[in-house]
Amino acid sequence: MSFSTERNADLDVEKALSNDAENSPNVEKHEGSESRSISSAEPKREEEITRLPTHTSQTPRKSISNLARVLTTRSNASVIDPGPPPDGGLKAWTQAFMGHFVVFNTWGMISTFGVFQTYYTSTLHLEPSAVSWIGGMQMLGHFGLGMFSGRALDAGLFYWVVIPGMLLAALGMFMTSLCTTGVYWQLFLAQGVMNGIGCGLQFTPSMSLVTTYFTSNRNVAVAIMASGSATGGLVYPTIARQLLPRIGFAWTVRTMGFIMLVVGACYCSLLKPRLPPRKSGPLFELSAFREAPYTLYLAGVFLICLGQYFAFYYISSFAQNVIHVPYSTSINLLMIMNGIGLPGRLIPSYFADANFGPYNTLIPFCFISAIILYFWTLVSSISSLYAFAILYGFFCAGFQGLFPAVLTSLTKDMSKVGTRNGMGFGVVGVATVLGPPIAGALMQRDGGSYIGAQIWGGTMVLAGSAAVVAGRVAITGWRFRVRV
């Protein structure tokens, strides 16, 4: 609380004590005139103190109630307003790095789905479009549940959703390891639904929690957290590449589940909500969609995510089926695409904080990723595919690291950040569950050709980029040199 608030509380206490003294009986008279009179030079407060009731006097209940109310208000002052965000320091940066491991376990695991996509289609001989629905359900749970789990942070229920979410996500991987070989519905329920729900219960509350600790360094903090998808996208495919040929599918997936449990135990013990609970309030703040910047921005993000993510699912199968490289090389391409996301998230976020603002920095990454998707149609050699993986991975990571920061910047009341961010991530979840299956269906329609899906993906990202620009214009008009 501020100094003025503390001083006002002191004055309220003095007033209550004064009222208490005025309503109480006079103190006993002492012998001598000096005991009945007070020098006029003494302060008034000292006179009031001498008139306080003794243990033999009877204080009116109203006065006691008034005093208790004032003292309670003062004692709860630090709970009502925890003050401005620290914007740095050990505790704040600890939250950012623990958030990194949340994303490592959630988004990082889902970014690995290209490994499973290739294994399920080439080894289990499942249809690519059907397999994409497994990864799509993971993404829907991961982002879509934010509409519900984000409000849990605002309501003070952070641990009640994050800890069960961590356990459920790991359980989903253990159940995947027990699925009967080639039985699609078991894989869909275990990996798609169960793991996706577990990831969704963790991601949005943790992302929103980290943003409450920062102001000027918020973009870097969000980028540190979001880069967990890059480290997870390196670690989990490496596990698959090294262990699948040696110990088989079941124990490889169980190993991933055990890693999720160990990492989850660490961040569940160190993440600490900063703001007091906001018990009242709707699950959805539909009035946010009457804000043109918020609505246009989410429309753009929806279209971008609709076309952007399928490349992460299909680059390994493209490498095997079109470029004709071995399985290990196809996994290397996915690892490169994920790994380049580490600098791809941190570098743009640094410039967003230092110079341009998150919204201005985001826009070129949207357009360039669309152009690179179009150029994917020209890839015909392993060297050009490596170049595509590096460039596309970098610019997609720039978008993925900045879009949560921009979404947070569109919320002025930070007590509602969980609810509003959750609504935004819910929109993203719908896009990510639809995009890869649509791309798979286009490839199946074209007899296995990727060109139609590649052009469709680039067009969606390009249209979404235009909507994102419209959202910025709704904030600043056509002034281009405004930091936003």
- Location of structure tokens 């980290």: 210
Nearest-10 crossing angle of helices 146-154, 417-445: 170
Q: What is the DSSP string of 422-446?
A: HHHHHHHHHHHHHHHHHHHHHHHHT
Q: What is the largest CA-CA distance in the chain?
A: 113
Do residues 30 and 172 share a domain? no
- Cα–Cα distance for residue pair 395/365, rounded to 1 Å: 5
- Could you say which DSSP state residue 278 is in? -
Do residues 393 and 436 share a domain? yes
Helices and strands, number each (H, E), in the chain: 22, 0
Is 24 part of any domain?
Answer: yes
Do residues 221 and 327 share a domain? yes
Do residues 442 and 340 share a domain? yes
- Cα–Cα distance for residue pair 82/85, rounded to 1 Å: 8
- Angular region, 125: left φ>0, alpha ψ -120 to 50, beta rest: left
* The pLDDT of residue 281: 65
- Count of CA atoms in the C-beta half-sphere (13 A) of 15: 10
Is 282 part of any domain?
Answer: yes
Q: What is the CATH number of the domain that holds 362?
A: 1.20.1250.20
Do residues 73 and 109 share a domain? no
User: What's at 398, amino acid-wise?
Assistant: G
* The pLDDT of residue 1: 39
* The pLDDT of residue 249: 93
Given 80, 109, 126, the domain boundary residue is 80
* The pLDDT of residue 232: 93
276-335 tens-digit pLDDT: 887 666 667 888 888 999 999 999 999 999 999 889 989 988 999 899 998 888 889 989
Do residues 76 and 8 share a domain? yes
Do residues 166 and 45 share a domain? no
Q: What is the DSSP string of 99-151?
A: HHHHHHHTHHHHHTHHHHHHHHHHTS---HHHHHHHHHHHHIIIIITHHHHHH
Do residues 472 and 452 share a domain? yes
* The pLDDT of residue 66: 53
- Location of structure tokens 């749970």: 141
Do residues 172 and 202 share a domain? yes
329: tokens are 């090389």
Number of compact structural domains in the chain: 2
Do residues 115 and 71 share a domain? no
Coil, strand, or helix at residue 54?
coil
Q: What is the DSSP string of 281-345?
A: S-SS-GGGGGSHHHHHHHHHHHHHHHHHTHHHHHHHHHIIIII---HHHHHHHHHHHHHTHHHHH
Given 59, 80, 101, the domain boundary residue is 80
* The pLDDT of residue 376: 96
Do residues 155 and 258 share a domain? yes
Do residues 151 and 69 share a domain? no
In degrees rounded to 5, what are phi and psi of residue 58?
A: -115, 120
- Domain of residue 62, residue span: 3-80
- Angular region, 413: left φ>0, alpha ψ -120 to 50, beta rest: beta
User: What's at 270, amino acid-wise?
Assistant: L
Q: Could you state, in chain order, the average pLDDT of each consecutive group of 10 residues for the chain (484 residues)?
A: 43 45 42 41 42 45 47 42 86 95 94 88 88 90 82 85 96 94 92 95 90 88 89 91 91 96 96 82 78 94 94 90 89 90 90 88 96 95 95 94 88 79 87 90 91 96 97 90 84
User: What's at 146, amino acid-wise?
Assistant: G
Is 409 part of any domain?
Answer: yes
- Angular region, 207: left φ>0, alpha ψ -120 to 50, beta rest: alpha
464-474 tens-digit pLDDT: 999 999 999 99
Which positions ≥6 away from 226 have C-beta within 8 Å?
103, 107, 345, 400, 401, 404
Given 17, 49, 80, the domain boundary residue is 80
Q: Are 96 and 213 in contact (CB under 8 A)?
A: yes
Nearest-10 crossing angle of helices 310-318, 451-476: 150
